[in-house]
Amino acid sequence: MRTSYVVDGYNLLFHLGLFDRRAGAHALETARERLLDYLKPAFADHEATVIFDSGRSTKSVPSTEQYQGLRVQYAGRGQEADDVIEELIAHAASPQNLVVISNDHRLQVAARRKGARSWSCDDFLDFKNARPTSPSEPIVADRAPPPSRAEVQHWLEEFGDLAGDPAFRELFERFPFEDAIDDEPE
């Protein structure tokens, strides 16, 4: 059976720093769209529901909608997203196939109690960063390979005169670039 994901929308949105007050009256709407665009590739092959509070919005918000393959659900009046997520956990037909993504301790406990998995926002980021963006695309390592001897020599010739500049002294003392040439086998 496929894994289903339930995301505490605003919890992850704020964790990722996607909200920018300077964006004006539509800042929250823009941040939600940015979050959903960010989530879409991670859940391309999975069922995912993102829950948002409807807050004090006077605008009529649909309770459920689809956004590029993601199910988006808003808490109704008098409810918070946490309440809706707890209901989804409680009514899950196969809680062992459910992953709840939130830093909220209350939701983490509710998920574990029911037999679902609980991921913090950082756990989700680890999951997302480990996945290729498309099935044919390999996972790329976080670090580039070290520069070759020729590359180091080139950059030392280009910027080596900065080693005597007091503003760059700390950099050259901290990273002995010349040692990289001496240590590399030919």
pLDDT digits (tens, 9 = 90+) for 67-109: 888 999 998 877 899 999 999 999 999 999 999 999 999 999 9
Q: What is the pLDDT of residue 58?
A: 47
Q: Taking the model in full, what pTM does it have? A: 0.66
Place of tokens 């990289």: 180
3-class state of residue 7 by DSSP = strand
Look at residues 97, 107, 92 and name the one whose alpha carbon lies nearest to residue 8: 107
Q: Is residue 108 within 8 Å of 124, Cβ to Cβ? A: no
Q: What is the DSSP letter of 78?
A: T
d(CA 66, CA 50): 10
154-158's contacts with Cβ under 8 Å and 24+ in sequence apart are: 156/181
Per-residue pLDDT of the chain (186 residues; tens, 9 = 90+): 789 999 999 999 999 998 887 777 788 889 999 999 999 999 988 899 999 987 655 455 557 888 888 999 998 877 899 999 999 999 999 999 999 999 999 999 999 999 999 999 999 999 888 865 544 443 343 444 566 778 777 877 877 777 677 766 665 565 555 554 454 444
Q: What is the pLDDT of residue 169?
A: 62
Q: What is the pLDDT of residue 137?
A: 40
* Domains of the chain, residue spans: 4-130, 149-183
Q: What is the pLDDT of residue 49?
A: 96
Class of domain 4-130: alpha beta
d(CA 23, CA 5): 29
User: H or E element: which one contains 72?
Assistant: strand 70-74
Question: Residue 14 to residues 28, 121, 124: CA-CA distances in angstroms?
Answer: 10, 10, 14
Look at residues 96, 100, 89, 101 and name the one whose alpha carbon lies nearest to residue 125: 101
Give the gyration radius of the chain's Cα atoms. Answer: 24
d(CA 135, CA 125): 18
Q: What is the largest CA-CA distance in the chain?
A: 70
Q: What is the pLDDT of residue 131?
A: 63
DSSP H helices in the chain: 9-15, 27-39, 81-90, 105-114, 121-130, 149-159, 169-174, 177-183
